[in-house]
Structure 1
Amino acid sequence: MNTLQESNIILNVASEDKDAAIKRVGNKLVENGYVEARYVEGMLAREESMTTYIGNGVAIPHSMPEYVQHILHSGIVIAQYPDGVDFGNGNVANLVVGIAGKGEEHMEVLSKIAIVCSEQENVDKLVNAKTAREVIEVVEQGEDL
């Protein structure tokens, strides 16, 4: 199963609160067969304990360790919020990237997406992408940096 495919990209989402944004990407992980529904609870619990906002207008919600048994396959869902999502403390995310990594892949998936999003230029391209294909191309090119 491919980690990032076009059905995992949600473009042009209207601004909503961070819990709704986390549920949106989490439910898309469920819908596309990457995780069981309980994984989304773990994503919300993680956000309560520590923000998943990483800077550059990006948040990467993922689950608490005790929920990893609910991961079926590694997956990434990217939601684009042109008007942003308030993650608190003045942090506004224009990209909310839900991830689920099976076993050792968890850190690999997280670090790949973090590396891509550490470049403001890549984030800008992702926020301005008009198609799911464009999003995937930016992520794949970024992985080769």
Structure 2
Amino acid sequence: MEFQKELIKLTQAFATKEEAIRYCGQQLFQAGHVNEAYIEAMVQRNDELSVYMGNFIAIPHGTDAAKKEVLSSAITIVQVPAGVNFGTEDDPKVATVLFGIAGLGDDHLEIIQKISIFCADVDNVVKLADASSADEVVALLNSVD
């Protein structure tokens, strides 16, 4: 799957995890990849099971029931230098890179697998968090086969 540079957002900041998840959904919606209802399904999905994956990344995506709201597969990559807490005050789980995903069929599984392999090395996450251009983000992610 190709990464779309217009869906790569650098140096964003969010007060809450819900605001961050909604932002990811809004990017996918505005680019025409999902219906607006998918945004709520992304928030609902995190309420059911945290989308925080460890190593400073979160992968917001919709519920299984919301698959019908996906028009085409896409991923938005959002850099959050100051981080956003997906945990609690007592047990913070800070994400500095968000991968908002919409996948047709089983496309999302391939996307999540590629992200997981890349982000298993925390040094790669740091490189993504420090990237200064969409081109740099794409080059980093495409370095994984």
TM range (shorter): over 0.9
Unaligned runs of 5+ in 2: none
Q: TM-score, normalised by structure 2?
A: 0.94
Note the C-alpha offset of 1:14: 2.0
State the number of aligned residues: 142
Partner of 1:5: 4
Identity fraction in percent? 38
Picking from 76, 81, 105, the partner of 1:103 is 105
Say if 2:40 is the partner of 1:73: no
User: Quick one: which amino acid aligns to residue 40 of structure 1?
Assistant: I
Partner of 1:135: 137
Note the C-alpha offset of 1:15: 3.6
Note the C-alpha offset of 1:53: 0.4
C-alpha distance in 2 between matches for 1:60 and 1:10:
15
1:87-102 equivalences under 5 Å are 87-88=86-87, 89-102=91-104
User: Quick one: which amino acid aligns to residue 52 of structure 1?
Assistant: V
Note the C-alpha offset of 1:4: 1.5
Partner of 2:53: 54
C-alpha distance in 1 between matches for 2:36 and 2:52:
22
Larger deviation: 24-33 or 106-115?
A: 106-115
CA RMSD of aligned residues (A): 1.1
SS in 2 for 1:95: strand
Tell me: CA distance 1:69–1:49, structure 2 relative to 1, closer, same or farther (3 Å): same
Q: TM-score, normalised by structure 1?
A: 0.94
User: Quick one: which amino acid aligns to residue 85 of structure 2?
Assistant: D
User: Quick one: which amino acid aligns to residue 99 of structure 2?
Assistant: V
C-alpha distance in 1 between matches for 2:2 and 2:66:
19
C-alpha distance in 1 between matches for 2:71 and 2:96:
27
Note the C-alpha offset of 1:3: 4.1
Partner of 1:26: 25
C-alpha distance in 2 between matches for 1:82 and 1:30:
24
Unaligned runs of 5+ in 1: none
